[in-house]
Amino acid sequence: MNICVTGGAGFIGSHLTDRLIDMGHTVLVVDNLTTGCREFVNPKAEFVEMDIRSQELIDLFKRFKPDYVFHEAAQTMVPVSMKNPRLDCDVNLMGLINVLEACLVAKVKKILMPSSAAVYGDLDTLPLTEEMQGHPSSFYGLTKLTTESYLKLYYEAFGLPYQCFRYSNVYGPRQGHGGEGGVISIFCEHLIHGKNLTVFGDGEQTRDFIHVNDVVEANICGLNAADKIGVYNVCTETEISLNELIEVFRKVCKRPFQVDYEAPRAGDIKRSILSSKKSINELNFSAKIDLTSGLQTTYDYFADNKTM
């Protein structure tokens, strides 16, 4: 099949592209390389450097005729959304609408894309299920929640099927320093350069960390579940505090290091753990990679690709 991956030079998108090509699909990667890396793009994929907000995207879709679209391109950093809500909205909403319009013109069979655990905000009832009403505490979470509504309305109004994945905190090789799982890549970079770790808050804030390979598997399960439409959590359903994460890093890093605690950041969520029940039942997906082994491969990747 012809499959387009927007953001395919980025962290998750590049891993997804690799998997799709291994499965024998013809893949088009669209990325403006603002945060993505050209060297991450599989050489067997067609690559077009383009912003998802470009009006040329429709002509590109007309030419390539994608059967499915994985829309991974986004502004993913909570602090950036708080400092520049206009940019966050422009990329995550106006960019989305442009992609959706291109999908309609090209008669795409389904669009699959990430939402985020950030749509929930700080809710008291855990684990978080897809039916819960979110109260985002950041503009990033707000644009992702709005994204879900756009997908639902495009399906109801224009018949464009969709799957939207509420990723928990994704980590793994090729990750940059931003995004929702970015704390792990930041910690890896600091540790391999002999620096101290910095935690914003008391370290008791919790996250549901999931390895990028599991996230890719969830997307493939979604692709294979052709009749399923809607929103799905993609998670491990395991709640880990940053302090607990640091203890795992001590085992992985195998050297002493210091942790500095600073004031909490605006927009950060205190506790987060997602329910995986719906994804297991409807997509036949469950995460397989445990945190210790996932952190080890991630740390080794950053150590092997150490920059000065």
Domain ranges of the chain: 2-169+211-235+275-288
Residue type at 18 in one-letter notation: D
Distances (CA, A) of 302 to 8, 171, 273: 20, 12, 27
- Assess contact for 110 and 161: CB atoms under 8 A: yes
Please report, rounded to a whole number, the percentage of residues in the chain having pLDDT higher than 70.
97
Q: What's the confidence (pLDDT) of residue 307?
A: 65
Poorest-pLDDT segment among 4-13, 226-235, 262-271, 274-283: 262-271
- C-alpha to C-alpha distance for 143 and 145, rounded to whole angstroms: 5
CATH number for the domain running over 2-169+211-235+275-288: 3.40.50.720
In this prediction, residues 170-177 reach a mean pLDDT of 88
32 has pLDDT over 80: yes
122 has pLDDT over 50: yes
Q: What's the confidence (pLDDT) of residue 308?
A: 46
Distances (CA, A) of 304 to 20, 188, 240, 254, 307: 26, 11, 26, 16, 9
Which residues, at least 6 apart from 184, have a Cβ–Cβ distance to it below 8 Å?
Answer: 169, 171, 175, 209, 245, 295, 298
Give the count of beta carbons closer than 10 Å to the beta carbon of residue 132. 15
Poorest-pLDDT segment among 12-26, 118-132, 170-184: 170-184
Residues with active-site annotation: 140
Give the count of beta carbons closer than 10 Å to the beta carbon of residue 261. 14
Indicate the pTM of the whole model.
0.92
- Assess contact for 255 and 194: CB atoms under 8 A: no
